[in-house]
């Protein structure tokens, strides 16, 4: 049940909107298409009402939809006995990725098989070394979690698969994206997330909003999110101005704040900044403050310090993603792959954090921790499917 999306080019042509991109450290795009004033007010109002209802659905505790999930139940403990996996995060320095991988290994222990975690700093040679060791160390499956791209590791991945080791990418792409060479790819709802971030901006700043989007285009999922943003503004807000600034993750510390400051200085009427990965907000928030900008920030992921920014008012809305659910979904998908079972689309459980509900994400000390505020519905559902409860 893959989600189908329009290409960004087609969407922009249909809407009469032109998006253009440029260089390595920055890129910009703008929508400047006009629309007739007559009759547009009622249509715009209906659209905004539709978007508000869509956003409202993410304010409360997310629930795993067991009725919609298509995966069959199986005896995981028996089926996985003797299996051994290796999980490789894009980089261990990103707490979001590292926490997911640590939880994957913990869940593997509950099921009763071995899962080792390869600590790394995101260097290609570290990923290559991990893949090269896979068959030698007896791994039956390698998980490339949200970072190591198959296109740059093709030779090593092929060698693993030729040796009987399955290589799976997880949380790397949108549902609609394909990657190769791999044994299987577990996508995520990046396109839908991007639409929700856009919806918030359109509802709160209007259909003529002036928007900066901070992206990192070396990450595979960025394309899915860029397409989601472009398609949503083309559909609901063709008069909006949407500019993209591209800063690679490795350059965040040296460039993200200055690139954002430069943009805000040149565009003092900016209404919103969309940070598609919330770890970048540690540089975007200071840029907003240093320039005296009134731009509001929305972001995605749910990294604890970003949730703390919601509490302090530095981020207006954060679309958080439950890491426990990601970990359980990854183990489910990869067990099905390892056992040659039919694979299914795994869910992404999201919750919208704002000043209205952010206290539900905080611990007794008033700070955010991973896993607070999302409930246990996915954990309970998966453990039941696997025969663990």
CA atoms within 13 A on the CB side of 47: 21
Q: Name the average pLDDT for the chain.
A: 89
- The pLDDT value recorded for residue 215 is 98
Is the pLDDT score of 2 beyond 70? Answer: no
Q: Give the pLDDT score at 387.
A: 98
Higher pLDDT, 195 or 250: 195
Residue 351 forms beta bridges with which residues? Answer: 320
Is pLDDT of 331 > 50? yes
Q: What's the confidence (pLDDT) of residue 96?
A: 86
* Predicted local confidence at residue 26, as pLDDT: 54
Domains of the chain: 8-34+191-301 (3.40.50.2300), 76-188+323-344+374-385 (3.40.50.2300)
Crossing angle of helices 40-56 and 190-205, in 10° steps, is 130
Burial of 57 (0-12, 13-18, 19+ CB in 10 A): exposed
pLDDT at 161 (0 to 100): 97
Of 5-19, 27-41, 136-150, 228-242, minimum mean pLDDT range: 5-19
Where residue 336 falls among pLDDT bands split at 50, 70, 90?
very high
Q: What percent of the chain has pLDDT over 70?
A: 88
- 299/196 Cα distance (integer angstroms): 10
Residue 52 reports pLDDT greater than 60? yes
Mean pLDDT for the stretch of residues 258-270: 98
């Amino acid at each position: 049940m893959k989600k189908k999306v329009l290409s960004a080019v087609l969407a922009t042509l249909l809407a009469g909107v032109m998006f253009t991109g440029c260089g390595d450290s920055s890129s910009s795009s703008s929508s400047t298409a006009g629309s007739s004033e007559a009759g547009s007010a009622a249509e715009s109002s209906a659209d905004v009402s539709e978007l508000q209802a869509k956003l409202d659905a993410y304010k409360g505790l997310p629930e795993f939809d067991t009725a919609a999930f298509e995966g069959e139940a199986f005896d995981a403990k028996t089926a996985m006995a003797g299996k051994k996996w290796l999980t490789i995060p894009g980089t261990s320095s990103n707490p979001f990725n590292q926490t997911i991988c640590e939880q994957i290994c913990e869940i593997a222990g509950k099921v009763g098989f071995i899962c080792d975690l390869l600590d790394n700093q995101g260097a290609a040679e570290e990923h290559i070394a991990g893949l090269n060791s896979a068959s030698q160390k007896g791994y039956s499956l390698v998980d490339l979690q949200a970072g190591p791209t198959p296109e740059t590791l093709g030779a090593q991945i092929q060698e693993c698969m030729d040796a009987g080791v399955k290589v799976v990418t997880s949380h790397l792409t949108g549902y609609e994206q394909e990657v190769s060479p791999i044994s299987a790819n577990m996508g995520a709802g990046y396109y839908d997330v991007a639409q929700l971030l856009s919806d918030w901006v359109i509802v709160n700043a209007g259909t003529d909003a002036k928007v900066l989007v901070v992206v990192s285009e070396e990450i595979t999922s960025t394309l899915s999110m860029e397409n989601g943003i472009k398609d949503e503004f083309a559909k609901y807000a063709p008069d909006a101005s949407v500019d993209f600034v591209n800063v690679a993750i490795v350059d965040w510390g040296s460039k993200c704040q200055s690139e954002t400051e430069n943009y805000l200085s040149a565009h003092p009427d900016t209404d919103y900044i969309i940070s598609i990965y919330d770890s970048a907000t540690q540089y975007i928030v200071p840029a907003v403050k240093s320039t005296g900008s009134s731009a509001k920030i929305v972001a995605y992921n749910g990294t604890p310090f970003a949730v703390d920014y919601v509490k302090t008012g530095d981020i207006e809305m954060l679309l958080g993603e439950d890491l426990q659910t990601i970990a359980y979904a990854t183990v489910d998908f990869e067990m099905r792959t390892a056992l040659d079972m039919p694979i299914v689309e795994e869910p992404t459980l999201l919750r919208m954090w704002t000043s209205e509900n952010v206290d539900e994400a905080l611990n007794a000390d008033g700070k955010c921790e991973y896993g607070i505020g999302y409930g246990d519905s996915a954990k309970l559902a998966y453990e039941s499917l696997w025969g663990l409860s």
